[in-house]
Chain A
Amino acid sequence: MITGYKYLIEQDALDAQTALRVFYLGDPIPPDRETREWVDVYFGTYEGESFWYIVGDFTEVLGTPTTFNIDTNG
């Protein structure tokens, strides 16, 4: 079970990623930093549904997170 944010449209996930980057790392990011994003955006599937998601609790920026399942392979 993942705690985070699930998006059915990829651009919505990327917009959320950008919001977190700007909030936590600033904009623009200083050129001497190699950290470019605050979070990764992952692609997942579960029970035939495809989606993009962000892992973690970022209530301050994205609101209350949800919990959801993803198909795993391992």
Chain B
Amino acid sequence: MATTIFLVNPREEAVTPPSYLLDTYSAAAAYSLRQLKTGVTSVVRVRRSSDNRESDFTATEITDGTLTSFCGGGDGFVVTWYDQSGNGYNQNQTSATSQPKIVSSGSLLTLNSIGAIQFDGSNDYLTRGTALTELHSVPFSVWGVANNEGNNSNGQVYSNRLPSGSNVGTFMRPDRTTNRRLFNIDTGATNNEYNYLSTDNTNSQRLLSFIIDNSSNGEAFLNGTSQETLTLTGTLSTGGNFDIGRQSLGTVYHNGYIQEVIIWNSDESSNRTDIESNINTHYGIY
């Protein structure tokens, strides 16, 4: 009895590359330990405590054990948090004792089980060494994922601030006090405060958002929920420094974890829910 064998040529399935947040919504500056854009390689540069050697790491190498293997049983500190936007606005720290920590005694530091960078509240910060001019005019939109381990209002996810002696600038804060500051824009004459609806004196992980449109109408959000709306009084400052983890050029430092900071020099109101959904899907904040 004849047997008929059908040979079927295996067809390769069409491979769809993963789509990242910035592939859809191109940003002005973006810092994260996850990959945010196709083509991004290194997301962070780390110094290990054992011999001060440094190496770059991809998002995958942070989670697959490559980073912790590099650090051995010691600590790892962030030298550079690479800007994934493509604009090259990397955040650096060239002084060892001011470098925030990412690996502690051989273990990746996490917040809500996802990799996080720990700022000590004493002298840790990352800086671009100059201002982010995208924050010098409206519109702009910013997102941050962070918590505050200090029972205070000192938390500074980022700031873009003029030199010490002046509080003029823009600030994103996971405040825990009755000050309730989420975002503020100090123009010198007026401190425009966009506050939390209520005080949250816990070290909870928070998704902080702030959008200001072409008409200077600003709105702050916590975990996707509107907190305060205010029309900006005054004019945004120029100059200063863009820092993550401290009040730039100042003496107020963030005590807690920061996982992501993304900045658009555009009004992203129409994309806000999509962006927040993407972030929350990864971090599981709320």
List residues of chain A with CB under 8 Å of any chain B CB. 24-26, 32-40, 42-44, 55-56, 70-74
Contacts of A37 in B (CB 8 A): 94-96
Chain B interface mostly helix, strand, loop or mixed? loop
Specify the chain A residue showing the minimal Cβ separation from B154.
A74
Contacts of A38 in B (CB 8 A): 95-97
Flag if A36 contacts B95 (CB, 8 Å). yes
Q: A33-B52, A35-B79 are in contact. Are A74 and B167 (CB under 8 A)?
A: yes
Q: A33-B52, A33-B54, A35-B54 are in contact. Are A74 and B96 (CB under 8 A)?
A: no
A56, chain B: closest CB distance, angstroms: 6
Specify the chain A residue showing the minimal Cβ separation from B164.
A73
Of the A-B pairs whose beta carbons lie under 8 Å apart in the complex, a sample of 21, sorted by A's number, is A25-B52, A25-B96, A33-B47, A33-B53, A34-B94, A35-B54, A35-B79, A35-B95, A35-B99, A36-B95, A39-B98, A40-B97, A40-B98, A40-B123, A42-B251, A43-B164, A56-B123, A71-B251, A72-B251, A72-B252, A74-B167
Q: A38-B95, A39-B95, A39-B98 are in contact. Are A73 and B52 (CB under 8 A)?
A: no
Specify the chain A residue showing the minimal Cβ separation from B123.
A55
- Per the bound structure, the CA–CA distance linking A56 and B95 in Å amounts to 13
A62, chain B: closest CB distance, angstroms: 13
Flag if A32 contacts B54 (CB, 8 Å). yes
Taking CB atoms and an 8 Å cut-off, the chain B residues in 78-111 that contact chain A are 79-80, 92, 94-99
Closest 8 CB pairs of A and B: A74-B252, A36-B94, A37-B95, A40-B95, A72-B251, A55-B123, A38-B96, A39-B97
Contacts of A25 in B (CB 8 A): 52, 96
Q: Can you list, as one digit per residue, whether each of B144-165 has a CB less than 8 Å from chain A (1) or not (0)?
A: 0000000000100000000011
- Per the bound structure, the CA–CA distance linking A38 and B96 in Å amounts to 5
Contacts of A44 in B (CB 8 A): 251
Flag if A73 contacts B167 (CB, 8 Å). yes
Specify the chain B residue showing the minimal Cβ separation from A36.
B94
Flag if B52 contacts A35 (CB, 8 Å). yes
- Per the bound structure, the CA–CA distance linking A74 and B254 in Å amounts to 12
Which of these, B79, B164, B166, B251, contacts A34 with CB under 8 Å?
A: B79
